[in-house]
Amino acid sequence: MRAVRYHEHGGPEVLQVDEIDRPTPAAGEILVEMRAASINAVDTKFRAGTYGSVSLPAVPGGDGAGVVSEVGEGVEAFDVGDRVFAGGMGHDEGGTFAEYAAIPATKAAHLPESVSFEVGGAIPNVGVTAWLALVDRIGLRPTERCLVHGGNGGVGHAAVQLGAAMGADVIATAGSDETREGVQDLGAVAAFDYDSESLTEDIRDATDGDGVDAILDHRLDEYLGLDLAVAGQNAHIVSITGDIPAVENAPMQDKQPIIQGMAIANTPERRPMLRRLARLLERGDLTAVIAETRDFETVGDAHRTVSEGGYVGKVVVQP
């Protein structure tokens, strides 16, 4: 079968298409004929060799969607021919940028008929990240105000939609007029320029001075100071990237913020959340905006697009 691989770390040019053996599903796995997979920001870091450890040569791709073509021993949840979407693969176990991928059944769920493979392949990792942050960690409630940094990014655009579906007022940041308009179309009540000098005041004004109840932060080193400045009383800040920097006069006793880190890798079983996401997708409360679709031959360009940013949603790769 054809698969994208890299044999050494480096820029997008290290990605190449190889002919390799089709995997055999082990006990507890399903073999999925991949129809679409997506690039997550972390894939560019694994490729560059700046994050985690990867056994080379590596097949990239941590999520995707397709059709079950074989069922491993002991798997009862799926049959051959089922449409599925899955997340949490790749790097050390064979990724989704291949014609077939052997996927642990616990990381997959049925993809509703009404949802395309592109959307199903783009949503798993960003949707689960947004779910773990907003639902499990924060427990966001209707009418609460939630700040989503980088609301146009993969995780951000899923979080904007999920927060709105939960009845919260989502305030997002994004880098251009076009992407700010895009996040408002997805349900954000306000969108501000992350480079604006008045960002702190803009966010506080959007909450009538009360401050936000919840924050999803993807660059804690850069934004913890701002987070604490715009936080309301007992605000909950969840960080998906970055260390805690020193913040002068942090209002720790005044506002009593809860600052929490999280990583989806700590939740290997994905099916329960994917099943919930499937229902949101089916209801039209959630989608993945597909900014660009590429094939295996142009996957390097797809990685370049993700590194440059400036779009809403996700970049998808199809065999």
Ligand X SMILES: NC(=O)c1ccc[n+]([C@@H]2O[C@H](COP(=O)([O-])OP(=O)(O)OC[C@H]3O[C@@H](n4cnc5c(N)ncnc54)[C@H](OP(=O)(O)O)[C@@H]3O)[C@@H](O)[C@H]2O)c1
Which window, 21-29, 57-65, 105-113, 154-162, contacts ligand X (CB under 6 A)?
Answer: 154-162
Query: Restricting to residues 130-149, which ones interact with ligand X according to CB under 6 A?
Result: 149
Residue with nearest beta carbon to ligand X? 153
Task: Report residue 2 as tokens.
Answer: 């054809």
Q: What share of the chain is helix, strand, coil (3-state, %, to 5)?
A: 35, 30, 40
Q: What phi and psi values does residue 294 have, to the nearest 5 degrees?
A: -125, 170
> What DSSP state is assigned to residue 107?
G
| C-beta closer to ligand X: residue 67 or 199 | 199
| Contact region with ligand X (CB under 6 A), list: 68-76, 171-179, 205-213, 286-294 | 171-179
Distance (Å, rounded) from C-alpha 201 to C-alpha 221? 20
DSSP 171: E
Q: Is 172 exposed, middle or buried (0-12, 13-18, 19+ CB in 10 A)?
A: buried
> Which residue, among 296, 241, 317, has the nearest Cα to 306 in the 3D structure?
317
Q: How many residues bind ligand X (CB under 6 A)?
A: 27
Q: Does 107 bind ligand X (CB under 6 A)?
A: no
306 part of the interface to ligand X, by CB under 6 A: yes
Binding mask 207-246 for ligand X (x = CB under 6 A): -----------xx--------------------xx-----
Q: Kindly give, in sequence order, each residue whose CB lies less than 8 Å from that of residue 168, ignoring residues fewer than 6 positions away.
A: 140, 141, 142, 143, 144, 145, 146, 213, 214
Ramachandran region, residue 108 (left: φ > 0; alpha: ψ -120 to 50; beta: rest): beta
CA distance linking residue 13 with residue 78, whole number of Å: 37
Candidate ranges 29-37, 196-204, 225-233, 306-314; the one touching ligand X (CB under 6 A): 306-314
Q: Between residues 30 and 123, which has the closer beta carbon with respect to ligand X?
A: 123
- Phi first, then psi: give them for residue 5, nearest 5 degrees: -145, 160
161 part of the interface to ligand X, by CB under 6 A: no
Considering the complex, what minimum distance in angstroms separates the CB of residue 229 from ligand X?
Answer: 15
Residue with Cβ nearer ligand X (149 or 270): 149
The total of other beta-carbon atoms located within 10 Å of residue 246's CB is 7
Query: Least Å distance between CB 240 and ligand X?
Result: 4
Shortest Cβ 195–ligand X spacing (Å) = 7
Cα–Cα distance for residue pair 91/9, rounded to 1 Å? 12
Task: Tell whether residue 152 is a contact of ligand X (CB under 6 A).
Answer: yes
Options 184, 250, 309, 318; binder of ligand X; rule CB under 6 A: 309
Positions 188 through 207 that interact with ligand X (CB under 6 A): 194
| Residues in 21-40 that interact with ligand X by CB under 6 A | 40
Q: Contacts with ligand X in 240-269 (CB under 6 A)?
A: 240-241, 262-264
Q: Of 28 and 52, which has the nearer Cβ to ligand X?
A: 52
- The verdict on 96 binding ligand X (CB under 6 A) reads no
Among 3, 4, 42, 230, binds ligand X (CB under 6 A): 42
CB 95 within 8 A of CB 57: no
Among 32, 155, 274, 291, binds ligand X (CB under 6 A): 155
Residue 108, Cβ neighbours under 10 Å: how many?
Answer: 29
Q: Given the rule CB under 6 A, which residues bind ligand X?
A: 40-42, 126, 129, 149-150, 152-156, 173-175, 179, 194, 218-219, 240-241, 262-264, 306, 309-310
